């Protein structure tokens, strides 16, 4: 027979998966807005971030309520703490997606500029990391979570290459300084999304192994 604590944890997992779907949609929309310079979509991403923030607060309150009511220990406590930390990382990703949308609004004020292929590739890799980290949560899949941590190095490398590419363009086209600087900021923001996906994967490893692995797997 399922206990109240088990039912509460299941509800928390369902809530975090619902928030995860919203976050994945925000990332995809921010990239689509950038690729197409879609200002309407960019504004939608910015506006929707308020709802994501509200969900983050509600989830934290639910976690604290369950901890106060049932005083979980051992594996159950690790699960709730891991979900609570994951909730913060997901909210952070939502903020970063909204930040990219804000950059799109700024870039669109200037003459249309080419988006680096490596920036697009970096976005793809980061979206994969987010999806993998969430899949590792659903299945409590430690090997998949470990892969996410390792893939963070790929995104870091692409970020360095994208920034180097745009810095070279700055030298060649100083009159395009503002939009190029915004694109550099976009690249750095995408890299931070990858960092947050890595944090989620590390939280999964904490849930499954009971060991704090932050900063050790990806070589940071």
Chain segment 159-200, per-residue pLDDT in tens: 999 999 999 999 999 999 999 999 999 999 999 999 999 999
Helix and strand tally (H, E) in the chain? 6, 0
Answer left, alpha or beta for residue 29, where phi above 0 means left and psi between -120 and 50 means alpha: alpha
User: Buried b vs exposed e over 116-142: b needs ≥16 C-beta within 10 Å?
Assistant: bebbeebbebbbbbbebbbebbeeebe
SS3 131: helix
| Residue-level length of the chain | 220
Q: Cα–Cα distance between 96 and 23 in angstroms, integer?
A: 10
The DSSP secondary-structure symbol of 140 reads T
The DSSP secondary-structure symbol of 114 reads P
- Indicate if the pLDDT at residue 18 is higher than 80: yes
Secondary structure (3-state) at 215: coil
From CA 95, how far away is CA 88, in angstroms rounded? 11
* pLDDT bucket at 219, cuts 50 / 70 / 90: very low
173 vs 11, 119, 167, 169, 170, CA distance in Å? Answer: 54, 19, 10, 6, 5
Where do the domains of the chain lie, and which CATH numbers do they carry? 4-209 (1.20.58.220)
Buried-state track 183-219, b at ≥16 Cβ within 10 A, e below 16: bbbbbebbbbbbbbbbbbbbbbbbbbeeeebeeebbe
State yes or no: pLDDT of 217 exceeds 70: no
Q: What is the pTM of this model?
A: 0.90
- For the segment 112-127, the average pLDDT, to the nearest whole number, is 92
Please check the confidence at residue 119 and state whether its pLDDT lies above 70.
Answer: yes
Per-residue pLDDT, averaged over 63-88, amounts to 90
């Amino acid at each position: 027979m399922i206990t109240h604590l088990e039912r509460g944890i299941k509800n928390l997992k369902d809530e975090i998966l619902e928030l995860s779907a919203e976050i994945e949609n925000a990332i995809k929309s921010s990239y689509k807005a950038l690729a197409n310079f879609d200002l309407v979509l960019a504004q939608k991403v910015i506006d929707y971030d308020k709802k994501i923030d509200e969900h983050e607060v509600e989830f934290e309150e639910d976690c604290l309520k369950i901890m106060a009511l049932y005083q979980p220990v051992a594996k159950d406590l690790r699960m709730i703490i891991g979900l609570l930390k994951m909730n913060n990382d997901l909210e952070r990703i939502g903020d970063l997606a909204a930040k990219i949308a804000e950059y799109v609004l700024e870039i669109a004020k200037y003459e249309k500029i080419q988006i680096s292929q490596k920036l697009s590739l970096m976005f793809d890799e980061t979206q994969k990391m987010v999806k993998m980290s969430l899949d590792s949560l659903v299945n409590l899949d430690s090997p998949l979570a470990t892969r996410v941590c390792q893939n963070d190095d790929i995104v870091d490398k692409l970020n360095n290459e994208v920034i180097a590419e745009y810095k070279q363009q700055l030298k060649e086209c100083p009159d395009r300084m503002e939009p190029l600087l915004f694109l550099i900021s976009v690249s750095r923001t995408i890299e931070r999304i990858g960092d947050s996906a890595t944090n989620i994967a590390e939280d999964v490893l904490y849930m499954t192994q009971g060991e704090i692995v932050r900063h050790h797997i990806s070589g940071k």
